[in-house]
Structure 1
Amino acid sequence: MLKSKEKLLFLSEIFLGLAALVLLHTLHKTIHGIFEYIIFFIPYLILGREVFKNAALDFIKGKFMRESFLMSIATIGAIILHNLPEALAVLIFYRVGDYFEDMAVDKSKRTIAALMAIRPDYANIIRENGNVEKADISEVHINDNIIINPFEKVPLDSIIYEGESCIDTKALTGESMPKNVKVNDEILAGTINGDNTIKAKVIRNYGESSVSKILKLVQDSQNRKANIEQFISRFAGIYTPIVVLAAILLTVIPTIMYGKEVFSNWFERSLTLLVVSCPCAFMVGIPLTYFASIGRASKLGIMVKGGVFLDLLAKADKVIFDKTGTLTKGEFSIREIYNIGLYDDETLLKYAAYAEKGSSHPIAVSIVKYYKGIINDSLISSHKDISGKGASAVIENKNILIGGINLLKDNNINIPNYKENINVHIAVDSQYAGGFLIDDTLKDDAKEAVSLLNSMNIKTALISGDNTNRVEAFAKEMNIQSFKGGCLPEDKVSVLEEMMKDSKASIFVGDGINDAPSLAHSDIGIAMGGLGSDAAIENADVVIMDDKPSKAALVIKLAKKNHIVVLQNILLALIIKFAAIILGALGFASMGLAIFADTGVTVIVVLNALRLIYPLGEKDDIIDIDTENCSIKVTDCGCGH
């Protein structure tokens, strides 16, 4: 943030300049010669020192088609024409505009600087002798025990083994509400502990942690410039020299044609043209718009890997979801118990839980977890897993067979009419007894995600490996317009291609390693970054760090707003600059209008860009992020800023 001393110095210099300007205007008939130039040159040199210094450096480097050089020439020309008040006014208004531009850019930089601040600096390692030692995070390894004191950053992704607390995840996920954590809960690096001490075991090195991935994504995002940004860079490289040449010809041609008596008039018009010609409004305002959007997205826990993807997101008219782990939590649970009357629900559940005990299959685990009773191993006479199909067991001298419908058919079990949505069936002593509807738990905001997209007139679709009947029921429940079930991992890309045919730009949202090809193949891939696989995150263009599918709609909204602001800034800058160029060439524009067409418009487009940070986020020519030193600097924009 701009320091108080800098503000005071700025105000003092502007006051001095304005006082001199008033004196020059009011006393121009009574003061002449050396006194007039003393009143003028003291504030002129103070206000223009940075401008002249930058102009000299640019000239030495051979890069003089920049604002400092153009502004210097314009003021020197005004002095030659003895328009001292005008020369001083150019510098005053230039400094005012430059100051407010710096303030605006500073706000945007602080957004990303805050993100950089989530990088942990140290960890408190618990040594074997029980002593606690502060160490750099690079020196901490997997399975090391650490202690996190109240209000400290969590240094590395860890599992709590002692203590309870609440964790502030806002910087990492954008979630405003603290998260309560207890023993066996995972906590992520970069989040902030609450007011209780907790002990945890490290599960990932820093380079593999969530916070490390975020910082890398933000840094890498600057390497992908949007097409509009690339066009503006090329445009400015051609535009400025052409206008400078036009300014020279604007003086030379009339002077040759009509004689030296018209030189003064056309020379003044040329100076106005030089001030107008600087492309700062484009070179600063447009990349800053994208940077502001990426910064805002980061604050919301959404990592966009470059401005080019914001442009694609703005065009998107279809979102295709994976189901498990994307719209659902990937946590299976019994949703319905179905029996034909041979046993009550509790007995049926007991036989199922005993038969599935020891299996690592998610469905088997969900049945055992749902059963609240204590499993007595002595009641199990035999047990056999049937790979990919189910299990068989002898429990209390009863033969239990549990699994899919085909498993029971293969074992010649007579199956009466059953409900189609039941996906796990059970037979006792070769008699069909009933079954269970076991399904994944819906994420809290999954319906909200689809509802938001539908309200934005964006089509929705679903691709899943689940059986077609279940996928159809799920799609209807979620109000998703089209779907395809029973997809093997190798089928997903071909199904995706078919779904993408009727859209301008399609988004695929997924999380697992089997989604990586689809994420890479879609126009825009959005990965769930909290529980998603590394392969999915690597192949995605956008990463949602807290696994909330509703943020897919949010980032599309942000991208559309970004597109509108970019177009506003381009049109505003072009219209005002070209109008000022034409008026200046015809002699109808003063130096004041020229200053507004340059610095004033730059400030307007920068402030307009910052609307993207408030209220809702590529290595480019404007902003360079140094993640190691947590700093951001404004670099070469092609205009000397």
Structure 2
Amino acid sequence: MLKKSDCPICGMFLKPEGEVTDSNDNEDSHAHRHGKDTDLTKVNSIKGGKYDKVPAGYSGTVYTCPMHPEVRDVENSGCPICGMALESETVAIGEEDTSELDDMTRRFWICTVLTVPLFLYAMSDMVGINLDSFIQGGQGDIAGKIAQWIQLALAVPVVLWGAAPFFVRGWQSIKSRNLNMFTLIAIGVGTAFGFSLIATFIPGIFPDSFRDASGRVGVYYEAAAVITTLVLLGQVLELKARSQTSGAIRALLELAPPNAKRVDEQGVETEVSLDEVISGDKLRVKPGEKLPVDGIVLEGSSSIDESMVTGEPIPVSKAKGDTVTGGTVNGTGTLLVEAVDVGDDTVLSKIVKMVAEAQRSRAPIQKLVDKVAGWFVPIVLICSIITFIVWAIFGPAPAMAFALVNAIAVLIIACPCALGLATPMSIMVGTGKGAQNGVLIKNAEALESMEKVDTIVVDKTGTLTAGKPELTAIEALGGLDENELLILVAAVETASEHPLAEAIVKAAQEKSLDIAKASDFSSTTGEGAQALVNGKQVAVGNSKFMQRLDSFDSTLSERADKRRKDGETVMFVAVNGQAAGLISVADPIKPSTSEAISLLHQAGLKVVMLTGDNEITARAVASKLNIDEVHADVSPEDKNRIIKELQNSGKVVAMAGDGINDAPALAQANVGIAMGTGTDVAMESAGITLVKGDLMGIVRAHKLSHSTMRNIRQNLFFAFIYNALGIPLAAGVLYPFFWAVAQSNDSGRCYESVFSICYWQRAAIASLETVVLVWWISF
């Protein structure tokens, strides 16, 4: 097994990346999350290797840092930038690796047992109890010396063993010149402990400025020990919180069953591992069992609970010929399913991969944080030096002792990790929550941009409507009957992915018509298609397409308009350059569309419909749904142009679509939203994919982006305020270990705030608790 390590940039404990792996595998690897503005020259120079330490072709676990994702390593050695523990880029199936958490927890509890006596001794004078009087009868220097030796005995294991990981990470940060939180902790704890050692063994070297009224040189073993223990507590809280952020991916992974029941040609059923299932296998799924892979129903009928993938609780009826998704739960019927997509090609695997990549992406707001964090530690070190000098010169006796204490306080209170973690932790939770509710977010930029959107642009077919149109009418001309015309049109549309084309082909199949084979197929996006069928050149499309081919018959316009007013879509047909009739298709509006548009309006969003359909049909649909603005008869280029015009007028645009013709507009929009029921090209062009494919997903995505970005700003505000107020106070008011308490509360507050996206009340309580604690400490 490869040795686990921390991120070479920030020191965080690494965790695996890449494809889903079994936790029982014998290989581990690690990676980390470091900002784009990181000086990669520094990173690449660490340990004599390159910044990305994952060899080509490496198939084990890769570890990354939550704060600096460009750091990748096959060993969990810690991040060289921020010093935090690295974590796996991919959540493993099976038992979670908690070795780092277990180690920090063990150190914390042992150090707590040793620190409590030190703390009580240090506080005894403040409450009017002189414990020295119980030692050797209170005989002055003898009692004091014995007390120092007792404190030393208690502090040595705390500092030399409990704080060992912090010293290692602090030393690595100095060697790599990437100063971080552990630099400050190592210097602060090391200074307090080192000074105390010298004061214990050779106190005579100190001048009077270090001595109190009785002539003693004070020791600060309790400061070093309490600081160490509280930082350990912060690490435990951090590791637990980071483990929870991967809970969404872990929950998705657990949707897939470990085994499947394969049926051979003789009908014999054999239970096999999911890894052994290949495309084409026949699988039996009994009531209450999970679908192992994506496939097509061959036999049986049942209702499928798809809530874990789509977020919708209503079961969906499935029968022969219907597609099913791996990870969903079969209802009351037994199904025989043919495996189609297996392994990494299943919908569930793609969702897991997308969520994992989104969680490792960086939001634009993080760039500002990275710049501040880059200067944070050097500024804190300078503030600490200035504090020491000012107190040494102007402080009361013993001036040097006060100078040392307050300089250490400045180092200990500073918490750069609260700044660095505020954004990535919120992004991890937000994208995970989205996946659980059928909203797949490709990257953090899309999540941040979605919050700023004020205009939603939607396609009609497959977005507002069900995308499952039905043939409603056929009107033939030129001596052709309806069936003959349908055969010709179906032959052309067989090669098309458009939902309207599927409706025509399905209607021909339902009539048991023999669909001819088409050749020389060509299409014009947003207008129509043509092909050679049985020696005839057949064209199918809108009026613009027919006019371009000089095959438009104006006598069909009146008939077409009448059907369009009813919300139907009309396609004209030409055979050998002559008008041959029209075909009418109706696509019902999705049940959730009206409610979704109403909720978008309530959120202050403008809804614009862009469609390649004609003006009459488009406005008929728009009037039913109370859509603000309609653009009909638009080509993909027109959609792109209209979105640019909206953007040039100051609008922040999200475009929702599902077809190939929507891909350019999806790419142009500030946020592209693809319907999960649409084409792969549309999904590739989009920043957000809605698994279920209805507009309620946009409502959820909009709310999620607002919640996540509000949470990020809340975390950043608290982190900035904490450091902005805490450092000046520490420079002259508070004792070092009290500030370690505050820092521990800061880290806990950050993580608790992350998980309050859906429970904002908890965040308010946590904020109040922190304010009260800092106020109490200050007095």
Amino acid at match of 1:59: W
1:515 paired to 2:662: yes
Given candidates 743, 754, 758, the residue that maps to 1:598 is 743
In 2 relative to 1, CA 615–114 (structure 1 residues): closer, same or farther, beyond 3 Å? farther
Amino acid at match of 1:509: A
Amino acid at match of 2:116: L
What SS does the corresponding residue of 1:102 show, helix, strand or coil? helix
Amino acid at match of 1:53: P
2:170, 2:186 within 8 Å by CA — same for their partners in 1? no
What SS does the corresponding residue of 1:324 show, helix, strand or coil? helix
Separation of aligned partners in 2, 1:439 and 1:499: 30
Q: Does 455-464 or 169-178 show the bigger shift?
A: 169-178
What SS does the corresponding residue of 1:520 show, helix, strand or coil? helix
Separation of aligned partners in 1, 2:394 and 2:103: 53
* Aligned pairs for 1:463-478 within 5 A: 463-478=610-625
Separation of aligned partners in 1, 2:559 and 2:231: 86
Paired position in structure 1 for 2:328: 191
Separation of aligned partners in 2, 1:190 and 1:43: 53
Given candidates 35, 42, 48, the residue that maps to 2:154 is 42
Separation of aligned partners in 2, 1:99 and 1:523: 39
Task: Quote the offset at 1:227 in angstroms.
Answer: 1.7
Task: Quote the offset at 1:59 in angstroms.
Answer: 0.8
Separation of aligned partners in 1, 2:559 and 2:625: 32
Greater RCO between the two (CA within 8 Å, min separation 6)? 1
1:71 paired to 2:215: no
Paired position in structure 1 for 2:589: 442
Q: Does 503-512 or 117-126 show the bigger shift?
A: 117-126
In 2 relative to 1, CA 248–9 (structure 1 residues): closer, same or farther, beyond 3 Å? closer
Cα deviation, 1:39-79, whole Å, max 9, x if unaligned, reads 56436624873422331354156258343443343334444
Amino acid at match of 2:744: T
Q: Does 29-38 or 361-370 show the bigger shift?
A: 361-370
Separation of aligned partners in 2, 1:416 and 1:153: 47
Separation of aligned partners in 2, 1:416 and 1:228: 51
Paired position in structure 1 for 2:729: 583
1:154, 1:192 within 8 Å by CA — same for their partners in 2? yes
CA RMSD after TM alignment: 4.1
In 2 relative to 1, CA 325–550 (structure 1 residues): closer, same or farther, beyond 3 Å? same
Q: Does 538-547 or 261-270 show the bigger shift?
A: 261-270
* Aligned pairs for 1:225-374 within 5 A: 225-252=362-389, 255=392, 262-333=399-470, 356=486, 360=490
Identity score, percent: 24
- What TM-score results when the alignment is normalised by the length of structure 2? 0.65
Paired position in structure 1 for 2:43: none
What SS does the corresponding residue of 2:461 show, helix, strand or coil? coil
Task: Quote the offset at 1:534 in angstroms.
Answer: 0.9
Separation of aligned partners in 2, 1:273 and 1:29: 30
In 2 relative to 1, CA 12–167 (structure 1 residues): closer, same or farther, beyond 3 Å? farther
Amino acid at match of 1:442: I
Amino acid at match of 1:271: I
What SS does the corresponding residue of 1:319 show, helix, strand or coil? strand
Separation of aligned partners in 2, 1:282 and 1:224: 17
Task: Quote the offset at 1:411 in angstroms.
Answer: 7.4
In 2 relative to 1, CA 232–51 (structure 1 residues): closer, same or farther, beyond 3 Å? farther
What SS does the corresponding residue of 1:320 show, helix, strand or coil? strand
Gaps of 5+ in 2: 1-95, 136-142, 197-217, 476-480, 494-498, 515-533, 542-549, 573-580, 762-779
Paired position in structure 1 for 2:247: 110
2:249, 2:356 within 8 Å by CA — same for their partners in 1? no
Paired position in structure 2 for 1:491: 638
In 2 relative to 1, CA 520–223 (structure 1 residues): closer, same or farther, beyond 3 Å? farther
Given candidates 539, 544, 568, the residue that maps to 2:714 is 568
1:508, 1:525 within 8 Å by CA — same for their partners in 2? yes
Given candidates 538, 543, 557, the residue that maps to 2:703 is 557
Amino acid at match of 2:746: V
In 2 relative to 1, CA 449–386 (structure 1 residues): closer, same or farther, beyond 3 Å? farther
Separation of aligned partners in 1, 2:300 and 2:337: 9
Paired position in structure 1 for 2:167: 55
Amino acid at match of 2:615: T
1:150, 1:193 within 8 Å by CA — same for their partners in 2? yes
Separation of aligned partners in 1, 2:502 and 2:347: 28
1:87 paired to 2:224: yes
Cα deviation, 1:441-481, whole Å, max 9, x if unaligned, reads 11121112211110011111001011111111211211111
Given candidates 21, 30, 46, the residue that maps to 2:119 is 21
* Aligned pairs for 1:123-134 within 5 A: 123-134=260-271
Q: Does 163-172 or 152-161 show the bigger shift?
A: 163-172
Separation of aligned partners in 1, 2:595 and 2:640: 26
Q: Does 46-55 or 180-189 show the bigger shift?
A: 46-55
Amino acid at match of 1:604: R
In 2 relative to 1, CA 19–446 (structure 1 residues): closer, same or farther, beyond 3 Å? same
1:52, 1:69 within 8 Å by CA — same for their partners in 2? no
What SS does the corresponding residue of 1:203 show, helix, strand or coil? strand
Amino acid at match of 1:278: C
2:289, 2:329 within 8 Å by CA — same for their partners in 1? yes
Q: Does 482-491 or 59-68 show the bigger shift?
A: 59-68
Amino acid at match of 2:748: V
Gaps of 5+ in 1: 340-350, 378-382, 391-405, 427-433, 617-641
Task: Quote the offset at 1:553 in angstroms.
Answer: 1.7
Task: Quote the offset at 1:384 in angstroms.
Answer: 12
Amino acid at match of 1:516: A
In 2 relative to 1, CA 88–604 (structure 1 residues): closer, same or farther, beyond 3 Å? same
In 2 relative to 1, CA 89–421 (structure 1 residues): closer, same or farther, beyond 3 Å? same
Separation of aligned partners in 2, 1:12 and 1:533: 57
1:164, 1:196 within 8 Å by CA — same for their partners in 2? yes
Given candidates 208, 213, 219, the residue that maps to 2:356 is 219
Q: Does 518-527 or 151-160 show the bigger shift?
A: 151-160
Amino acid at match of 2:132: K
2:392, 2:402 within 8 Å by CA — same for their partners in 1? no
Separation of aligned partners in 1, 2:417 and 2:113: 26
